[in-house]
Amino acid sequence: MAKKAFITGITGQDGSYLAELLLGKGYEVHGLIRRASTFNTHRIDHLYEDPHEENVKLTLHYGDLSDGARLVTLMDDIRPDEVYNLAAQSHVRVSFDEPEHTADTTGTGTVRLLEAVRQAGISPRFYQASTSELFGATPPPQAEDTPMYPRSPYGAAKMYSYWITKNYREAYNLHAVNGILFNHESPRRGETFVTRKITRAVAAIKAGKQEKLYMGNIDSIRDWGYAPEYVEGMWRMLQVDEPEDFVLATGVGYTVRDFLKFAFEAADMEWEKYVEFDERYLRPTEVDALIGDPRKAEEKLGWKASVLTPQLAKIMVENDMKQTEVGGKIWIDAAVNGKGEPLEGFKTWA
């Protein structure tokens, strides 16, 4: 019997790669999607299977983390072996504009899903998408035992999810783990996160379609890895028999300014000629520096990031330049390894 996985946030960056990875491993994958007035499944359209066919491996279910009753029904019907809770209002800057909504989705949403698992009387392995934003004001390097000090409504909501996941592990013996993931990016990254905003602008400027790029704080330091490798780490965390929390990171930090340099250089341009400051992208409280210590994941999971930030910037710029060439049509990248070869284990498509 194929293992069954349930993924919230399957339409997001990580959810789409995770679905590919699990389908490649032979799982039956179930994903939660939100009803919207326009299609929101472009990151997973290449994985779509006609539900009228036999042996369908990917099934999408309407629902929302704000709707607990729906989550109970889904857990009871699907009875998954593994649950990955990736859904969230995941934008830190936006969380200052919408703190209550962020608390409801990114915080309370997690306990709704944990409760749904408990009420359905099932005991799947449970992955919670925790974040380096939990460390916030605590200086790097940051590891699993570093004191946490979130600096945004998003970070505070994720803090609740982190602790409620641990609590369900201790209180109900649920096999629940927190993956404390540092920033990870890809050609599928949402367009308003800093890396993708930069690489899309590089492609548009190169093509003569844009003149300037307006940025906020370019002194902050982040540890940017490559998303397909991080979803592989999520899966590995759930294969360990003892549930434990893990940091995933490259272990190397760069400033936003460095990322600008890498991205513009990938298109033979100098960033200083195009970038201007706009205070609207500043945050009321900033997280100055995040650099992870991934040694525990390497020792216990055999996981190590192979794509570092300079190469990541190049992968993203190349993909955005291709997208610009094809007139902004949806162009789904394949997951590759540090040498640009197809990453093992992911479902491939025609």
What is the binding site for ligand NDP (CB under 6 A)?
8-9, 11-15, 32, 34, 40, 64-66, 86-90, 105, 129, 131, 181, 183-184, 190
CA dist., res. 96 & res. 100, Å (int): 9
Of 133, 167, 171, 172, give the one whose Cα is nearest residue 153: 133
Among ligand NDP, ligand GDR, none, the one that 13 touches (CB under a kind-dependent 5 to 8 A) is ligand NDP
Select the residue interacting with ligand GDR from 144, 281, 336, 338 (CB under 6 A): 281
Q: Minimal distance in Å, beta carbon 62 to ligand NDP?
A: 10
Binding partner of 210, given ligand NDP, ligand GDR, none, CB within 5-8 angstroms per partner class: none
160 binds ligand GDR (CB under 6 A): no
Size of the site for ligand GDR (CB under 6 A): 22
Show the beta-strand stretches assigned E in the chain: 4-8, 28-33, 58-62, 82-85, 125-131, 176-181, 184-185, 213-215, 221-222, 225-226, 246-248, 254-255, 275-277
- Which pair of tokens denotes residue 151? 């600096």
Q: Is 247 in the site for ligand GDR (CB under 6 A)?
A: no
User: Cα angle at 107 between 106 and 111, to 5 degrees?
Assistant: 115
Active site residue 131: yes
Q: CB of 217 within 8 A of CB of 191?
A: no
Q: Which of 220, 255, 311, 337 binds ligand GDR (CB under 6 A)?
A: 220
Q: Does 92 bind ligand GDR (CB under 6 A)?
A: yes
8 A C-beta contact, residue 117 and residue 75:
yes
Contact 157, 103 (CB under 8 A): yes
Q: Is 285 in the site for ligand GDR (CB under 6 A)?
A: no
User: Which residues contact ligand GDR (rule: CB under 6 A)?
Assistant: 90, 92-93, 131-133, 182-183, 192-194, 197, 215-218, 220, 222, 256, 281, 283, 286
Active-site positions? 131, 133, 154
